[in-house]
């Protein structure tokens, strides 16, 4: 099956810093999503991005499908950006998602 | 739009009791719902996929008699942990996939289960 690898596993930054999170996947996919899980456990959809580039405020994402990776950029980090960022890709059927292990981001004030 | 609720958010129970968790899509019809389990500091583990009106499809290693899933309507799915034991303690998360929002699943806030 498809393997999803995220890096780095942990990231600690000062407020205001920029960061780049990476997601590598082992096979072609027709669905790639980024999620943020806040410290209370709620998963929030960030981007549906099987290819191309999207931006939403301070966050942007780029997926290069031919090279099987996606990047999530966070600019001018705020403490509320803390949490775990997951990359998930579309599996074989039934809209299932295959999840990466996540990147834990801590933003210090 | 695309709001999914889960109830209860917290439950503490004694070993041997059954616990029911409800997952509702509040503003869209969910043709497919997913149930996940998440251990501390780990990623989400898919337990089962349920489609409205049909039996759930369980992932390998998930006991269907232990984790009963019912998807009786397009807005409600329930997960019942039967005869819960301490090893069933975990964070359970549901998600819904609807005909309107075809690109992505939307997640409930999760239910923390502690079995004593």
* Alpha carbon of A95: minimum distance to chain B alpha carbons (Å): 8
Instruction: Determine the Cα–Cα distance for residues A97 and A26; give it in Å rounded to an integer.
Output: 14
Number of A/B CB contacts below 8 angstroms equals: 42
> Mean pLDDT throughout B40-60?
91
Q: Fill in the DSSP letter of residue B59.
A: P
Model confidence over A52-81: pLDDT tens digits? 999 999 999 999 999 999 999 999 999 999
Instruction: Please give the sequence-ordered ranges of beta strands (E in DSSP) within chain B, or none if there are none.
Output: 4-7, 10-13, 19-25, 30-38, 44-51, 57-58, 67-73, 76-81, 90-98, 106-107, 111-115
**Average pLDDT score, chain A:** 94
Taking an 8 Å cut-off on Cβ atoms, the answer to whether B104 and A45 are in contact is: yes
State the pLDDT at residue B24: 95
Question: Strand, helix or coil at B33?
Answer: strand
State the pLDDT at residue A93: 61
> Mean pLDDT throughout A1-25?
96
**Average pLDDT score, chain B:** 92
Instruction: Determine the Cα–Cα distance for residues B40 and A86; give it in Å rounded to an integer.
Output: 15
State the pLDDT at residue B97: 85
């Amino acid at each position: 099956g498809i393997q999803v690898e995220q890096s780095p596993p942990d990231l600690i930054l000062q407020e205001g810093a920029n960061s780049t999170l990476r997601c590598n996947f082992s096979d072609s996919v027709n669905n790639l999503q980024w999620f943020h899980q806040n410290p209370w456990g709620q998963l929030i959809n960030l981007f549906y991005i099987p290819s191309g580039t999207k931006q939403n405020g301070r966050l942007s994402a780029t997926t290069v499908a031919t090279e099987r990776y996606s990047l999530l950029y966070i600019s001018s980090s705020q403490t509320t950006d803390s949490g775990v960022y997951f990359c998930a890709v579309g599996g074989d059927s039934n809209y299932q998602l295959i999840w990466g292990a996540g990147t834990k981001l801590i933003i210090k004030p | 739009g695309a709001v999914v609720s889960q109830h209860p958010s917290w439950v503490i129970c004694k070993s041997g009791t059954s616990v029911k968790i409800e997952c509702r899509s509040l503003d869209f019809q969910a043709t497919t719902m997913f149930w996940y389990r998440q251990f501390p500091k780990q990623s989400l583990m898919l337990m089962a996929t349920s489609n409205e009106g049909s039996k759930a499809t369980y992932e390998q290693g998930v006991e269907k008699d232990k984790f009963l899933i019912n998807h009786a309507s397009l807005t409600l799915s329930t997960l019942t942990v039967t005869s819960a034991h301490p090893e069933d303690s975990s964070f359970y998360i549901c998600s819904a996939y609807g005909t309107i929002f075809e690109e992505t699943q939307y997640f409930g806030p999760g239910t923390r289960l502690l079995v004593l």
